[in-house]
Amino acid sequence: MSDRATGILNMLAAQFVGEEPDGRLNDGIMYNVIMSAIQEVKDINNVVDAFHHAERIKEIANVKQEKQNQQGIKKPTKHHI
C-alpha cells in the first residue's frame, strides 16, 4: 500500500518539479491522482487501526483469562457443554 501511495505522489511531484510544461496532466487527472493518494493513505490508516484494535482485544482477553485463572475458574470444555 505505501508503495502505491509513494508512486502516486512521485508522479504528482514530477508534474511540478523539473518537467516540461507540455507534459503536464490536466486538472481532472490531477484531481484523481490526488484522490488516489488520499485513499491509499486512508487504507494504510485503516489497516494500522485494525491491527491496534485486534491487539487491544487480545490484551483484554488475556487479562480476563488471567483473572479467571487466578479465581480458579476454567473455561468450559466440550465435555462440560
In a domain, 78, yes or no: no
Sign of the four-CA dihedral 3, 4, 9, 11 = positive
Distance CA 22, CA 66 (A): 67
In a domain, 28, yes or no: yes
Answer for the pair 39, 1: CB distance below 8 angstroms, yes or no.
no
Query: Which residues, including other chains, have CB under 8 Å from residue 40's CB and lie 6 or more apart?
Result: 1, 2, 4, 5, 8
Q: Does residue 74 surpass a pLDDT of 80?
A: no
User: What value does the mean pLDDT of the chain take?
Assistant: 81
Query: Residue 43 belongs to what domain range?
Result: 2-71
In a domain, 23, yes or no: yes
32-58 confidence digits (pLDDT tens): 888 988 899 999 999 999 999 999 999
Number of domains in the chain: 1
Instruction: State pTM to two decimals.
Output: 0.59
Distance CA 48, CA 44 (A): 6
In a domain, 42, yes or no: yes
